[in-house]
Amino acid sequence: MKRAAWIAVFGASLLGCAAEPVKLQQDRSYLLEWIGERPLIDRSHLTITLGADGRAYGTAGCNHWFAPYSLDGEKLSFGKVGSTRKLCAPALMEQEQRFLKSLETVQRWDISPIDQLRFWPAQGKPLRWWLEES
């Protein structure tokens, strides 16, 4: 099969070297879908906004959270994460703690083939995010 026909049949798209690299959007909210290998509890709502001022914040399912962050190209890291102290159901609190601890292990970010934002720890599966609709 010729290359052009193969591309047409399988729906691939090629970008030339002049293509603009994907950028992480600051001052936009993202919704979390997965923490590592586990999806979120149904109807829990975890978010992140990376402020242009170097501060990240969002909701952790029960509490609001905040942390400084550093972004340099594909490198991304978070400082000590703080949060409010409201109590919720035990399963939601466990998920929230996993999320907040996982943020502190993030080392880089990328965009998946399905345009999903991923935050990668040193080892293991990423946090997976979708851009929140306005």
- Give this prediction's pTM: 0.80
SS3 20: coil
Whole-number pLDDT of residue 60? 97
Encode 18-50: b = buried (16+ Cβ within 10 Å), e = exposed.
Answer: eeeeeebeeeebbbbeebeeeebeeebebbbbb
Helix locations, 11-107, DSSP H: 90-103
Give per-residue pLDDT as tens, 89-129. 999 999 999 999 999 999 999 999 998 999 999 899 999 99
CATH of segment(s) 26-131: 2.40.128.270
Domain segments of the chain as ranges: 26-131
Residue with tokens 């002049």: 18
